[in-house]
Amino acid sequence: MLKREEETTLYRAAQAARRNAYAPYSHFTVGAALLTEEGKVYSGCNIENASFGLSVCAERVAVWKAVSEGTRRIKGLVLILSRGTPCGACRQVLAEFGNPEMPVIVYNDAGERRSYTLGELLPEAFSGELLRK
């Protein structure tokens, strides 16, 4: 569970990140911000490419930034987008560094807020534990 002030901080960081989104093909801009267990905030925006398979989602940009700085545990995520929820690839990446109870809070353009746990978005996530056996 995120505290109110943590969610507000993440919302503002996601808004700022969304302004940097590079989406000339879909015009679907997304901003994400995550809070680590250590209290650090990392944000990301979606970045498209003419070769669509090389595009990357805002959530994964934020996770890559956090992991590249040494983080391994995510406490929560705020996402701002026109509609929808994190894609399947992002859900799996979040599962690698979060936990089933991690809050994923989604705001749309109208300011409507929806709150999920990662476990609700990705029940029975694939785990690296399966590979270690």
Sign (positive/negative) of CA torsion 74, 76, 17, 86?
positive
Residue 71 CA to residue 30 CA, distance in Å, equals 22
Catalytic residue of the set 5, 48, 59, 96 = 59
Mention every residue, 6+ apart, whose C-beta is less than 8 A from residue 93.
59, 60, 63
Encode 93-111 in three state secondary structure.
Answer: HHHHHCCCCCEEEEECCCC
59 catalytic? Reply is yes
Residue given tokens 């996770």 in the structure block: 63
Catalytic residue numbers read 59
